[in-house]
Chains A and B, each alone.
Chain A
Amino acid sequence: MEWQWDWALVGHILPELARAFRVTIAATVFGFSLALVGGLLLTILRRSRWKIISWPAHFTVEFIRSTPLLVQLFFIYFVLPIQLPDFGGMFTSAFVTGVLALGLHYSSYTSEVYRAGIDGVPKGQWEAAAALNMSRGRTWTSVVLPQAIPPVLPALGNYLIAMFKDTPLLYAISVAEVLTAAYQIGSQRFQYVEAFTIVGALFLIVSLISAWLIRRMERWTALPAQ
């Protein structure tokens, strides 16, 4: 069979893929927002003085990090609708469960990043906050976190890109993101080459640009180091 790249087809399917790509971006943005909050929560739990809290939090992070996102996705997608009360059909939405799974999985990564950032804050800062009679909450919000977060922004950015590259997994629960769209186009017309190659190119372009931005950010965050 002689096969040839079809530019007319590319022009035809590009708008459709671009539309689906918006779902990919939305899943990335929502999922990562969740991961930013979830990771912080896990980090704070892990730093608890009580082993009964810190140890389960530590184990959770290790467990989530060492098991496949796809299986976690299936787990959440199939289990949540049975086990939880149905908040107006919220957990039957594939998009919502997909975002939840992405957020949960990447919480374990962002938690590690935050931990590194917090460990990097000199001990004297904690002592100074205690000397100034600041409350525990105040110490976190106005002394520790403002110093811990900026240096780890590039690392968080790298996980943002990693999550972006994991959104195609939502294909498995038929969220209408870009890989699902490409697969449908491919199977309807039996034209897989153009559709999948365009998707690959889209991911490559966005990742390369983001990676470049993060490298610039690295230079910027590296400046005010102690």
Chain B
Amino acid sequence: MLESLEFIVRILPVLFQGLLITIQLTLGGIFLAIVMSFAAGLGKLSKFFPLRWLCIAYIEVFRGTSALVQLFWFYYVLPFLGMDITAFQAGVIVLGLNAGSYGAEVVRGAIQSVPKGQYEAAIALNFTPLQRLWRIIIPQAVVSMIPPMGTIFIELLKNTALAALVTLGELTFVARQIRDDTLRTTEVFGTILIIYFAVALCITAVMRTGEWWFSRGLDRGGIR
């Protein structure tokens, strides 16, 4: 037992190197996922049908295929089509596009759940369509987006492990190498499972704070 603990302490610095890449992947993926969620979620509500169809196609394709298949496609197929891409770039793009396709439905649902009177009031007050969206609708919709988005971000964190399969040296990849060198599976994989769990708890905590922050001043009846 004590010997196991010593072993874990010894491998922690190496695992930390992998964790840094995992965190970079997660943050990059989350950033792209937020951009894509809003772009596709708002696009799906557009009255301009080519844009609407484009967004629907994006959402259905990325939700309907497997994240790992998407990663392999980007990493192995794109070079044939003349686009050279590193494992890290493929990871961030696939994680972001994949989570974005789920997030788009969250954004669309949250925007549609804002009471109609809010739109009418914004029109009555002569807001431009952009002001209406940015100053009236989105600030109210964000509060109900945050909990489901937190779930999506944790799924994204879990999916970063897939990048190990396209040889990116993130946490799972590093752990796999240590295991192959030492054959001490239980300690190595047990440790990184706990690390992933801790990172997931951090994401949950950030999202809770975000929910509190965005819901300040929204406690007037009937909005949430």
- Residues of A that sit less than 8 Å from B by CB: 1, 3, 63, 65-72, 74-75, 78-79, 82-83, 165-169, 171-172, 179, 182-183, 186, 192-193, 196-197, 199-200, 203-204, 207-208, 211
| Complex CA distance for A63 and B69, rounded to whole angstroms | 26
- Measured between beta carbons, the chain A residues less than 8 angstroms from B162 are 68, 70, 169
Partner of A78, one of B80, B81, B189: B189
The answer on a CB contact under 8 Å between A71 and B68 is no
Nearest CB on A from B204, distance (A):
8
Q: How many A-B residue pairs have CB under 8 A?
A: 115
The answer on a CB contact under 8 Å between A168 and B69 is yes
Q: Which of B63, B64, B154, B185 has the most CB of A within 10 A?
A: B64
Known contacts A66-B197, A71-B196, A74-B189; A200 and B172 CB within 8 A of each other: no
Any A CB within 8 A of the CB of B158: yes
| Complex CA distance for A78 and B77, rounded to whole angstroms | 31
- Measured between beta carbons, the chain B residues less than 8 angstroms from A82 are 185-186
Partner of A179, one of B61, B69, B179, B193: B69
Any A CB within 8 A of the CB of B55: no
- Measured between beta carbons, the chain A residues less than 8 angstroms from B66 are 165-168, 179, 203
For chain B, the bracket of interface size reads 35 or more
- Measured between beta carbons, the chain B residues less than 8 angstroms from A208 are 60, 64
Any A CB within 8 A of the CB of B136: no
The answer on a CB contact under 8 Å between B196 and A66 is yes
Within 8 A of A (CB), among B180-202: 185-186, 189-190, 192-193, 196-197, 200-201
CB-defined interface of B156-185 with A at 8 Å, one 1/0 digit per residue? Answer: 011111101100000010011001000001
Q: What are 7 A-B interface contacts by the 8 Å CB criterion?
A: A68-B158, A68-B160, A74-B172, A74-B175, A165-B67, A192-B76, A204-B65
Any A CB within 8 A of the CB of B134: no
- Measured between beta carbons, the chain A residues less than 8 angstroms from B165 are 70, 171-172
- Measured between beta carbons, the chain B residues less than 8 angstroms from A67 are 158, 193, 196-197, 200
Looking across the interface, which residue of chain A has its beta carbon closest to that of B62?
A204
Nearest CB on B from A147, distance (A):
27
Partner of A75, one of B64, B73, B185, B201: B185
